[in-house]
Structure 1
Amino acid sequence: MKKQLSIKDIAKLSNVSTATVSRVLNDNGRFSEETRKKVLDVVKEFGYSTNSVAKTLREQKSHTIGMIVPDISNEFFSSLITQIESYFFDKGISTIICNTNKDAEKEKAYLKSLDSKLVDGLICISGQEEIDETQLSRDIPIVCIDRKPKVASNIAIVGSDHSEGGYKATRFLLDKGCKRILLLTKDNNTTSSNDRIAGYKKALKDANLKLESELIIHASSSSLSKFEIAQKSIEEVLNRGLVFDGVFATNDWLAYGAVQTLKKNHISIPDEVKVVGFDDDSISKYTSPSITTIHQETNEIAERAADILYQLMTKPDTTLNNHDIKVSTRLIERETT
């Protein structure tokens, strides 16, 4: 078994000073390519590794970021995580991923834990309306995705233009001839869902159509999945005899539940009722009929969020010209319209 070398040992074997070895290992300062090769050849041969804990305490930098995620099983969130982790890995920065299951206390605990690990920055997709900054002892850069939490400090927010997406979905149904569009959403919505609802309302207003409260369905259940609460809600609506010719669901799983319940009740889609979802999850593409939906540009959101956080981490004096970045959505037409 090879003995773990010290920096002094590496310097002696490379025939350079310990300061030069330190500069090479930290990739910081001036040294020739020949010197770099000599040092790294010794490092490779003897398997030297730095004491990362000591280095973190000394520099107060861990070369690590934290990611707070409300639901890692959510396709949109998992795609974002994968891309952001890959971005930072390529820059030599590790990622700690914390799945909160939308639990406020769990989110607080994770924030405290990430702070104690001296993470250099945070990507936060919060399941709460407010990030508890009291859990952070240091002023570190934070970039939020898809949420607008109420925080005191200056943070960047990157996400889809949900209001625009809701407007596009509703406008499309109107252009297809729908007059009475049912809005299907969850109870206790996040800001992103509320923005989608605002887009729905604006589209109706622009079309000079009255907003009917009976057509806005807030599906609520603590024990059922989105798919199941959508089924239950549409069944209740049909039993009440409510007349509608279009459905805008604020996510694809709600849309899928609506489609399956309408089919079960022998209501023809899209002839009698047209349906549009939101998110462009895989379910919207592969179910039958496939679901018209609003696509979120995940790649652009992930890249812009990662770019901003890296900029704030590496250049602390950076001033952001735009703290609230909205990425445009697009409608994908499929068989439900």
Structure 2
Amino acid sequence: MKKLTIKEIAELTGVSTATVSKVLNNTGRYSEETRKKILDVVQEYDYRPNAVAKSLRTRRSKTIGVIVPDITNEFFAQIVLAIEKYCGPKGYSVFICNTDENGEKELQYIKELELKGVDGLIHLIGSDELFNVETNLPVVCIDRKPMAHNAAFITSDNFQGGYLAASELIEKGCKKILLIRDYRVGHPTLERQKGFKAALKEKKIPFNEEEQVLNVEVGIEQGKKAVQELIKNGNFDFDGVFATTDWLAFGAKLALEENGIKIPEEVKIIGFDNINLAKYSSVSSIHQDKEAMGQKAAENLINRIELNIHTNDVIKLPVTLVSRSSTSV
């Protein structure tokens, strides 16, 4: 079937192109009879507006790019779903770019999204190199603090999360706690560690960073292997474990169980993120509201696009403790 233009719809209905445009965009004044006449033709000929032409007129493509380091990670996937859920009803399409935590791939995606004419970017925990890229696009970062770029920052209260984790372990009787953390220097991990240490200091619990911190790559096997090594070398004398992700917490749990160490009787464990892995393995965790993070990021970005807001907004979302059998008998 031949694709109609607005001009041809106007000729078929006997009205001006301006009136057709008003009806299609639901703006201005026109009679109900005119509206019905135009929509009947639209339906009959299956008219679809030319998005490219419209973006040239409005200077907006109604699309946003989302840079995500690992779409298979449940934490990121839930945030991305929340972004899509918010953007759809607002008329925005979402381009999702998975970087596999590759810095070069990340930068390439940003350049490609700019060329595609997206209206803005949402960036989930990426490389600091992003902030050295010259772009006029509105940017909202999730869980990574902007250093030199005029971007909004959406994050959880990671300091409070670390504080709650340590407080839970101390309350359950732990006197020597192992901290297993991401080896990379990132804002969320650093804040979690600061909160953890603040609670220990407040409760006068000794903490030796050299002996009580394991810096590892994030993953179940990596967490398991790190704890296995301590046990094998006779260096595991801890009664509590705080892992800065649920994956690391579950890995530690597997290592302890395989070595006959009882949880929570001998060692208590708490993780961070509260993904389904923690729920189904009964590991206590610090809950981050993934849906709220995605929604707030999308809302902030659309406001920047449509209202031309360019400020370094910081939105910090509260966290909560979810206690399970890894910390309570």
TM-score, normalisation: structure 2: 0.93
| Percent of aligned pairs sharing the same letter | 46
Say whether 1:193 aligns with 2:189.
yes
Tell me how many residue pairs correspond in the alignment.
325
Judge which range, 66-75 or 3-12, deviates more.
3-12
Whether contact under 8 Å (1:128, 1:149) holds in the other structure is: no
Match of 1:167 among 163, 170, 175: 163
Once residues 46 and 167 of structure 1 are traced to their aligned partners in structure 2, the CA distance between those partners, rounded to angstroms, is: 62
Alignment of 1:109-124 (within 5 A): 109-124=108-123
Once residues 25 and 241 of structure 1 are traced to their aligned partners in structure 2, the CA distance between those partners, rounded to angstroms, is: 71
Match of 1:275 in 2: 269
Match of 1:45 in 2: 44
Q: Alignment partner of 1:140: what SS?
A: coil
Structure 2 unpaired stretches of 5+ = none
Which ranges of 4 or more aligned residues in structure 1 deviate by more than 6 Å?
none
Judge which range, 32-41 or 61-70, deviates more.
32-41
Q: Alignment partner of 2:78: what SS?
A: helix
Say whether 1:141 aligns with 2:138.
yes
| Aligned-pair Cα RMSD in Å | 1.7
Judge which range, 248-257 or 79-88, deviates more.
79-88
Residue 319 of structure 1, CA deviation: 6.6
Residue 67 of structure 1, CA deviation: 0.5
Residue 185 of structure 1, CA deviation: 1.1
Q: Alignment partner of 1:90: what SS?
A: helix
Say whether 1:295 aligns with 2:287.
yes
Whether contact under 8 Å (1:70, 1:101) holds in the other structure is: yes
Match of 1:244 in 2: 238
Residue 127 of structure 1, CA deviation: 2.1
Residue 133 of structure 1, CA deviation: 5.1
Letter in 1 for 2:283: I
Match of 1:314 in 2: 306
Match of 1:152 in 2: 149
Once the two structures are superposed, what CA deviation does each residue of 1:251-289 show, in whole Å capped at 9, x if it has no partner? 0110001011101111111011000001111111112xx
Say whether 1:215 aligns with 2:212.
yes
Whether contact under 8 Å (1:131, 1:150) holds in the other structure is: no
Whether contact under 8 Å (1:111, 1:135) holds in the other structure is: no
Whether contact under 8 Å (1:162, 1:196) holds in the other structure is: yes
Q: Alignment partner of 2:148: what SS?
A: coil
Letter in 2 for 1:226: G
Once residues 142 and 36 of structure 2 are traced to their aligned partners in structure 1, the CA distance between those partners, rounded to angstroms, is: 41
Once residues 201 and 32 of structure 1 are traced to their aligned partners in structure 2, the CA distance between those partners, rounded to angstroms, is: 68
Once the two structures are superposed, what CA deviation does each residue of 1:101-130 show, in whole Å capped at 9, x if it has no partner? 111111111111111111111111132134
Q: Alignment partner of 1:47: what SS?
A: coil
Match of 1:335 in 2: 325
Whether contact under 8 Å (2:146, 2:153) holds in the other structure is: no
Judge which range, 10-19 or 65-74, deviates more.
10-19
Distance 1:280-1:150 versus aligned 2 partners, 3 A rule = same
Letter in 2 for 1:305: A
Q: Alignment partner of 1:96: what SS?
A: strand
Say whether 1:184 aligns with 2:180.
yes
Whether contact under 8 Å (1:124, 1:143) holds in the other structure is: yes
